[in-house]
Amino acid sequence: MSSKSRSPRILPGLERTGEALPLWTYASAELLELEYREFFLKSWQMVGHECDLPKAGDFLTFDLWRDSVIPTPKNFPDIDRSELGLQEVRMEIYRGHILVNLDGDGPAVSHMMGPIDGEVAAYSPEGYEPIGEPTVQVWDCNWKLAWDNYQENYHIPIGHPCLHRMLVENDEGVTLDNGINFGVFEMKEKLSKVPRERRYQELIGCTDRRFSPDKARRWLQIAMNPNMGIEYYPEMFALFQVLPLGPEKSLIKLNCYSPPDLSDEEREMQGINLAILDEVNDQDKLLVERIQRGVRTSGYRPGPLALEESSVYRFHEYVRETIPVARLREPPIRGMLERENARLQASAASEAQ
């Protein structure tokens, strides 16, 4: 059976602590060249939502470091493709989300999402509308650091006191063998002492006209390697995306979308949640930029990854398996990284035979 048709599997939890990627991989321009080719050009990238393209002739632009994509629902009637050198790329609309795959290979998004499609379907994200302009920030960190941070919940009690006051702790979600990870966060019964957080907790049950009681008081977070997250809340959803700008610079994009028929209470919840998202985003920026500065100091060593950080460990394994040079404790001699990686790949292939 080919990897395209094989159904995604849920991976068992880890039994041992895992090893993190070596520090040099977080500041290497040469490695980023390989990562861009192996991860970003070969994976699905979220470029927007159907509601961003309401009529024929509308278009979006999506910049992925060296490449740009222009998703459009219909052909451009007034653009000469031969002149612009536009190339068609593989595109898929999954429950309203528009994704492109520049390499064009690999399984469809709907296939990859198979085991959790029911969870997404419960939100009917197809009919949503954009909430304002996307938040776009430049973070001074390697893209993997922002992605490590997004995937683990270990830092919530220290890094995000607001989330810690509102949500029941959830150390680990469910990880599929195709790099998709999802987790459910239940709202705490105990009310936060901060008025706006308490108000959100009090209001959250009001969305039960759209959700069954088991889904009305929770947040669902889906992370998709190498760089995308979708968070479904009862009153909106948010897309999170990390895009490399350089070895120690990343673009962070946050797009939020709303269901069309909000009640007054849901609108109030949405306003509170948007403010909380901004607060959490600022806290994450501070956290990862501080760690990135540590990458450059000689005294900093990556510690073992705890069992609760299994999604980070699995992501690091995925990096090591795809780009074996990332296993090396020290970086290869300048200018030799690509050749060294090819050598390691060839020796791994001959060992496997």
Query: How near is the Cβ of 349 to Fe ion at its closest, in Å?
Result: 38
Q: Cβ-closest residue to Fe ion? A: 284
Compare residues 148 and 248 and give the one whose CB is closer to Fe ion. Answer: 148
Task: Give the angle 68-74-75 at the CA atoms, nearest 5°.
Answer: 70
Q: What are phi and psi of 118, to 5 degrees?
A: -60, -35
Query: How near is the Cβ of 288 to Fe ion at its closest, in Å?
Result: 9
Compare residues 148 and 235 and give the one whose CB is closer to Fe ion. Answer: 148
Compare residues 140 and 202 and give the one whose CB is closer to Fe ion. Answer: 140
User: Which residues within the stretch 187-246 sit at the binding site for Fe ion (CB under 5 A)?
Assistant: none
Q: Is 148 one of the binding residues for Fe ion (CB under 5 A)?
A: no
User: Which of the ranges 43-51, 207-215, 277-285, 338-346 carries the binding residues for Fe ion, by CB under 5 A?
Assistant: 277-285
Query: How near is the Cβ of 155 to Fe ion at its closest, in Å?
Result: 6
Compare residues 197 and 284 and give the one whose CB is closer to Fe ion. Answer: 284
User: Which of the ranges 33-41, 107-115, 199-207, 276-284 carries the binding residues for Fe ion, by CB under 5 A?
Assistant: 276-284
Compare residues 28 and 149 and give the one whose CB is closer to Fe ion. Answer: 149
User: Which residues within the stretch 278-297 sit at the binding site for Fe ion (CB under 5 A)?
Assistant: 284
Query: How near is the Cβ of 96 to Fe ion at its closest, in Å?
Result: 26
Query: How near is the Cβ of 188 to Fe ion at its closest, in Å?
Result: 18
Query: How near is the Cβ of 57 to Fe ion at its closest, in Å?
Result: 39
Count of chain residues binding Fe ion (CB under 5 A): 1
Compare residues 148 and 284 and give the one whose CB is closer to Fe ion. Answer: 284
Q: Which residues of the chain form contacts with Fe ion (CB under 5 A)?
A: 284
